[in-house]
């Protein structure tokens, strides 16, 4: 069945891209609404058709309105089984919070779910679908549930090659992925700031790697936190299909752009 929230909740913080105050109020919504962001009175459905930017984060837009960093909240809503919800955004960004989806998942759990008595539309992967760019690739294959198999590879002594395999929704998301924080490299900080990007990034919300290791005083939450965050991002991007997926998502060195290219292919097959 479709579900919505038991009650609304509000979260405030700072935007990762612009570094300005940001807030959202997440409200229950009627059957068939889907997950919809509302920015300056403009409703932006959280679907692949409305993705306008994938640099560092997934940004949605419609009719001149935009909202960035939707993937962490989208992942928590998707994994938490919330089908219909309105997300009213102040500041043009979703608050980055601690750089993970943990606080979003907690807020959803506290709000609770309400069944709405109407079946979900489910997209089942019937045959392999793949996209490639250079040495990176992403693929969907048939499976009974939504599963992940992601590998990342960075020329860095603390990251190297990491792989995550496992379920991607429900309790598994909360215990295995929700707490993993976004990450970046110190060498990229100034170039990004010069472009007006990542102005809100700090050691409070981003795992930052210098040439030798991790700069955050408390270190990592797990040795493979980087790949787990990439898996979190993949769940958030998968949510933009607008329906639960039955299929195995496998990827190597993929990011938001490749995720969305694959999801668009899947949407074409499901139409």
Those residues with Cβ within 8 angstroms of residue 216's Cβ, 6 or more apart along the chain or in another chain: 203, 207, 208
Q: Which of 3, 50, 229, 256 is catalytic?
A: 256
Distances (CA, A) of 188 to 115, 157, 183, 224: 45, 17, 11, 21
Q: In whole angstroms, give the CA distance from residue 261 to residue 222.
A: 30
Q: Tokens 């990762």 appear where?
A: 16
CB 180 within 8 A of CB 100: yes
Is 256 marked active-site?
Answer: yes
Those residues with Cβ within 8 angstroms of residue 181's Cβ, 6 or more apart along the chain or in another chain: 98, 99, 100, 205, 206, 207, 221, 225, 229
Q: Which residues are catalytic?
A: 256
């Amino acid at each position: 069945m479709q579900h919505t929230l038991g009650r609304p909740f509000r979260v405030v913080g700072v935007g990762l891209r612009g570094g300005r105050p940001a807030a959202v109020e997440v409200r229950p919504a009627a059957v068939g609404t889907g997950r919809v962001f509302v920015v300056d009175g403009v409703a932006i459905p959280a679907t692949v058709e409305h993705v306008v930017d994938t640099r560092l984060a997934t940004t949605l837009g419609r009719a001149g309105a935009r909202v960035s960093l939707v993937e962490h909240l989208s992942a928590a809503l998707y994994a938490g089984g919330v089908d219909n919800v309105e997300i009213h955004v102040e500041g043009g960004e979703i608050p980055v919070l601690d750089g993970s989806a943990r606080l979003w998942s907690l807020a959803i759990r506290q709000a609770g779910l309400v069944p709405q008595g109407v079946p979900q539309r489910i997209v089942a992967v019937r045959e392999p679908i793949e996209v490639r760019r250079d040495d990176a690739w992403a693929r969907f294959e048939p499976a009974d549930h939504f599963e992940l198999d992601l590998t990342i590879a960075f020329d860095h002594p603390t990251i190297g090659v990491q792989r995550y395999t496992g379920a991607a929704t429900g309790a598994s998301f909360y215990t295995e992925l929700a707490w993993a924080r976004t990450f970046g490299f110190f060498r990229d900080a100034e170039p990004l700031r010069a472009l007006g990007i990542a102005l809100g990034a700090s050691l409070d919300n981003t795992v930052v790697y210098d040439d030798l290791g991790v700069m955050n005083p408390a270190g990592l939450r797990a040795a493979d936190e980087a790949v787990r965050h990439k898996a979190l991002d993949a769940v958030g991007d998968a949510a933009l299909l607008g329906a639960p997926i039955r299929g195995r998502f496998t990827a190597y060195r993929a990011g938001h752009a490749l995720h969305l290219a694959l999801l668009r292919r899947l949407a074409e097959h499901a139409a």
